[in-house]
Amino acid sequence: MTDKYINAAKLISTISDVIPEFSSSPSSGFRSRCEFGYRDNHYTMVENGKKVFLKFFNIAHPAINNLMPKLLLEINKNELIKHKLFQINFRCNNNNKVMVTFIYHKEATNDLFEILKIISTMFDIHLILRSKKKYFSTSDDLLEEVICSKKPYSLFQTDQTFFQPNRFMVPRMVDLVCDMVEDPSDLLELYCGCGTFTIPLSRIFGKVFATENNRKSIQCLDSAIERNNVSNINYARLSCDEVMKAIDGHIFRRLKGIDLKEYKFSHILLDPPRSGLTNDVIELAKTFDNILYISCNVDTFVRDMKLLNGFEISKLQFFDQFVNTPHIELASIIKRK
């Protein structure tokens, strides 16, 4: 057991007697989403405050890692491609389909895109070019992923949406969260993103109302609902504050005629950013008997639990999403005492 796990467990012990379970990840080939700078004919990243020059990246998905040096060679051959190339991002799915985004500090031309189309064909990749006022793509905007959980399902992502980066951890987290649910009625989900948990949980709950403030993520969720042939999910592009107002009866056009009074919410699912929950969301969560809380920051999770007075952790598990870093993910079920 690593120091990271031990330290995280010690933090949890300050608020709960629950003994956390642990799920470790392979130390290489796990990351299916990577972002790099480009400088001096190399990929770059910052590590411990210093710029590091790379040709490949061992923790990346093998399809990304194998592509990186070959793609770099083609980039470095052509001055039109290299000129003011600022960033190169990679995403990969379980079928080894790679999406690559080139980002420029200049207004891209059709000539540049025609060259990148040739490279796209050469490596059989979905290539996107982003620059000032310009956007090109060799395919549609969506990369489909099949999550190989106990009951596999499809998700979609764009090159700009958040998507869980560790391909080994996502199915385990999904299965655990589904297994944590007892006596389900309807589910309210905040920060739903592309639907990583929304889609599988729709098989357990009577109805799901999911909210997300990012337009691209909502588009991905909509595509996932259609692909998985789901009929019991409603969603709206609402911030957390707007969700609270909607529950109190405020009418938003974005609710598209959805009546929240028709829901019998038994659970709320929270998957916030590293900063954790706002005080308003904590107050909303207190109105539920069951809270599914997924966190990428143990410190803010412990802080939030101290504010959720009257609740206790029923089960908690750590997931090593980011191997060889201080960061750790957790999934928990919290119940009213």
Same domain, yes or no, for 177 and 108? Answer: no
Same domain, yes or no, for 17 and 61? Answer: no
Longest dimension (CA), the chain: 65
Question: What is the C-alpha separation between 68 and 65, in angstroms, rounded?
Answer: 5
Query: What pLDDT was estimated at residue 209?
Result: 96
SS3 at position 242: helix
Q: Contact at 8 Å (CB) between 289 and 335?
A: yes
- Mean pLDDT per 10-residue run, the chain (337 residues)? 89 96 95 97 94 96 98 96 96 97 94 95 97 92 95 97 95 97 97 96 97 93 98 90 82 82 95 92 94 97 96 97 91 97
Same domain, yes or no, for 295 and 159? Answer: yes
The pTM of this model reads 0.93
Query: What pLDDT was estimated at residue 118?
Result: 96
Residue that finishes a domain, picked among 120, 141, 162: 141
Same domain, yes or no, for 122 and 184? Answer: no
Same domain, yes or no, for 44 and 65? Answer: yes
What DSSP state is assigned to residue 166?
B
Residues near 269 by Cβ (< 8 Å), separated by ≥ 6? 177, 187, 188, 189, 190, 192, 197, 201, 292, 294
Query: What pLDDT was estimated at residue 1?
Result: 61
Helices (H), 136-270: 169-180, 198-201, 215-227, 240-247
Domain range enclosing 297: 3-26+144-336
Same domain, yes or no, for 131 and 162? Answer: no
Same domain, yes or no, for 195 and 136? Answer: no
Count of domains in the chain? Answer: 2
Question: What is the C-alpha separation between 274 and 301, in angstroms, rounded?
Answer: 9
Same domain, yes or no, for 285 and 153? Answer: yes
Residue that finishes a domain, picked among 141, 160, 180: 141
Query: What pLDDT was estimated at residue 246?
Result: 85
Active site residue ranges: 296, 329
Closest by CA to 11, choosing from 294, 303, 270, is 303
Give me the residues paired with residue 34 across strands.
90
Same domain, yes or no, for 253 and 152? Answer: yes
Same domain, yes or no, for 124 and 9? Answer: no
Residue that finishes a domain, picked among 81, 106, 141: 141
